[in-house]
Amino acid sequence: MALSPWHTLQLRLDAYVDNVWSEPVELHPWTGASYAEGGGPDPARAVIKTRGVFMRPGASNTGEAAGQGRMIDSKIVTSDVWISIEEVKMIVPWQEWRQGDRIYMPEGGDWYEITYIQLSATSRPQIHMTYLQPGD
């Protein structure tokens, strides 16, 4: 079956976005509903290593835009960051990525917890996350 012109364009755009902005992402399955409840690694599911685009809207609120000639109070954004990732790069079906699972971003050395997954009509779900402070 041939792809529609729209779908072909979508695939090209996804490839371009991933080639330019994606970075390594690791999914670490976790037991327990949230970091506050403890839990631990889930041995029934494998760690998945793939690539995704890390989205941080509001970067100016975290001090990253301080180079624009203004002083900004630096804060840690604790929510509303996400990974934009093509379904095929999720390795397993998106349903296996669960709330409470951990995401490790090797380039920054940061850990996050999945809060929810927002599905997409373009087969590029957004995995919303909360930053885990060191020691959490």
Q: 35-87 pLDDT, tens per residue?
A: 566 788 999 999 999 999 998 876 544 444 444 444 444 444 455 788 988 88
106 or 9: which leads in pLDDT: 106
Please count the structural domains in the chain. Answer: 1
CB environment 98-110: b (16+ within 10 A), e (fewer): bebbbbbbeeeeb
Q: Is residue 1 part of a domain?
A: no
- Asked if residues 48 and 92 have their Cβ atoms less than 8 Å apart, the reply is yes
Quote the tokens at residue 123.
Answer: 């087969």
Q: Is residue 52 part of a domain?
A: yes
User: Per-residue pLDDT averaged across 123-133, rounded?
Assistant: 86
pLDDT at 66: 42
Question: Which residue range forms the structural domain that includes residue 122?
Answer: 7-132
pLDDT at 49: 93
Quote the tokens at residue 63.
Answer: 């001090």
pLDDT at 37: 64
Q: Is residue 84 part of a domain?
A: yes
Q: How far is CA 98 from CA 3, 4, 15, 88, in A?
A: 31, 32, 26, 17
pTM: 0.74
What are the backbone dihedrals phi and psi of residue 96, each rounded to the nearest 5 degrees, phi first? -85, -10
SS3 52: strand
Q: Please give the torsion angle defined by the CA atoms of residues 30, 32, 38 and 41, in that order, rounded to the nearest 10 degrees.
A: -20
SS3 16: helix
Quote the tokens at residue 22.
Answer: 């994606």
CATH number, residue 97: 2.40.10
Q: Is residue 41 part of a domain?
A: yes
pLDDT digits (tens, 9 = 90+) for 84-116: 888 877 778 778 888 889 999 999 999 999 999
Cα distance between residue 57 and residue 84, in whole Å: 12
